[in-house]
Structure 1
Amino acid sequence: MVTIPQLQAVLDVLRLAERLKFELRHSYTSSGRQESVAEHTWRMSLMAVLMEPYLDKSIDMAKLLKMIIIHDLIEAEAGDVPVTEMMRNPALKLIKQQREIEAIESLRMRLGEPLGQEIYELWFEFEEKITYTARVANAFDKLEVQLQHNEADISTWEDIEYDLSFMMGRHVAFDANLELLKDLIEAQADQKMRAAGADTVAIRTRVLG
């Protein structure tokens, strides 16, 4: 039987999660505004639902969706640090990691046993990217980011994002159909960059060698 303190903890975390509706990411939408963390997570979840029948292996869909929904929940406390900023300043990666660990430990304490521990373990499984489920979740994370960039006006792209468009391969190499999806999304990016006058052959050569 659930207790009032357990339900209150759930409400507290839902209240915290509301911040993700206005915690902005670097990516822009096709309408010209910055997207929120919550919007990114929602489309990752939809991507999982639509791609699940086409994955190379069967997967625990409930676990996959939990992992996707939870993976950015800690940004309600830790905030979002764009990968472009971490590439310019590698020290930010360590700061980000420490803040996120503190945030997931805080969530575990808020929710208590057993729910807090489940969320804690799912978050670390995603971060470690060892299991098939975690690797699929990570692939959707990277693919959704690029898909959103493709839909944004290219004037919002930073120079490094031209290179990042061709760097998704290592995130999908374990699954043939995710590689095909990556190829389609990459082709969209290539077309968008060429339309803007970019030499995508030179960019691809620089990135991939």
Structure 2
Amino acid sequence: MQFESLLKQVDFIKEIDKVKYIQRKTKLFNSERNENDAEHSWHLAIMAFVLAEHSNEKIDLLKVIKMLLIHDIVEIDAGDTFIYDTLKNHKNTEEESKASKRIFGILPKNQAEELIQIWEEFEKGETIDAKFAKSMDRFEPLLQNTSNNGGTWKEFNIDYEKVYKKKKEIDKGSNLIWDYAENLLNESVEKGILTKRN
């Protein structure tokens, strides 16, 4: 029984290696190279424990780290949808939900159920833990784009209003980090790397 569990866990470990091949639109800090999902998830997990003290409310840090490490695993099947995509809804939950059941379902039943539940909690974004995790997910690309002279904002002609609307979600997890992020957005407008429509 224990050996059977181990085999399933090893199969899962092999399967999630595919996350390293999922390219994101955002580029690494001060770089021309696109980030992959594994790098993104690792970076967010570290950000969470470094910045946890700035959460609006006390979080379960281990759960937040789990959320951030697994939140994009579903993209192995569903692919990465650019946050500013106008043709495909970024919240493609039906495709992603199906992917979560297949991929996490490789694990033994109790682990599969735990990870599906954590993934769903992140997607809904309603709990204290999920709000903070989502704030990290929104904050990292903002830092990357400001380090890259506008990065994907410039590349895909994304205006200040669209960026502001997506990034405002940071505030739900951390008012302080949102204040900092909002300042960066305003500075980006002043520097001409982010354009206001009016």
Residue aligning to 1:165:
163
| More deviation, 48-57/188-197 | 188-197
Give the deviation of 1:68 after TM superposition.
Answer: 1.1
SS of equivalent to 2:158 = helix
State how far apart, in whole Å, the 1-side matches of 2:123 and 2:9 are. Answer: 23
* Root mean square deviation of aligned Cα: 2.3
Residue aligning to 2:92:
96
Give the deviation of 1:170 after TM superposition.
Answer: 4.0
Identity of aligned residues (%): 24
Classify 1:23/1:9 alpha carbon distance in 2 versus 1 (closer, same or farther; 3 Å). same
Residue aligning to 1:10:
9
Residue aligning to 1:83:
83
SS of equivalent to 2:109 = coil
State how far apart, in whole Å, the 2-side matches of 1:179 and 1:63 are. Answer: 21
Q: Do the aligned residues in 2 keep the contact of 1:74 with 1:100 (CA within 8 Å)?
A: yes
Residue aligning to 1:74:
74
Give the counterpart of 2:178 among 182, 201, 205.
Answer: 182
Structure 2, unaligned runs of 5 or more: none
Query: Scaled by the length of structure 2, what TM-score is found?
Result: 0.86
SS of equivalent to 2:165 = coil
Residues 54-112 of structure 1, C-alpha deviation per residue, up to 9 Å, x if partnerless?
32322211111111111111112221111222xx21xx228932221111111242113
1:39 equivalent in alignment to 2:35: no
State how far apart, in whole Å, the 2-side matches of 1:187 and 1:149 are. Answer: 14
| More deviation, 96-105/122-131 | 96-105
State how far apart, in whole Å, the 2-side matches of 1:186 and 1:121 are. Answer: 32
Q: Do the aligned residues in 1 keep the contact of 2:121 with 2:127 (CA within 8 Å)?
A: yes
Q: Do the aligned residues in 1 keep the contact of 2:45 with 2:65 (CA within 8 Å)?
A: yes
Give the deviation of 1:150 after TM superposition.
Answer: 1.5
1:132 equivalent in alignment to 2:128: yes
Q: Structure 1 or 2: larger helix share?
A: 1
Classify 1:52/1:155 alpha carbon distance in 2 versus 1 (closer, same or farther; 3 Å). closer
Q: Do the aligned residues in 2 keep the contact of 1:169 with 1:179 (CA within 8 Å)?
A: no
* Amino acid corresponding to residue 38 of structure 2 in structure 1: A
SS of equivalent to 1:58 = coil
Residues 20-45 of structure 1, C-alpha deviation per residue, up to 9 Å, x if partnerless?
22210010122211111111111111
Classify 1:161/1:83 alpha carbon distance in 2 versus 1 (closer, same or farther; 3 Å). farther
Query: Scaled by the length of structure 1, what TM-score is found?
Result: 0.82
Residues 107-150 of structure 1, C-alpha deviation per residue, up to 9 Å, x if partnerless?
24211310000001001111111111111111111111211221
| Matched residue count | 195
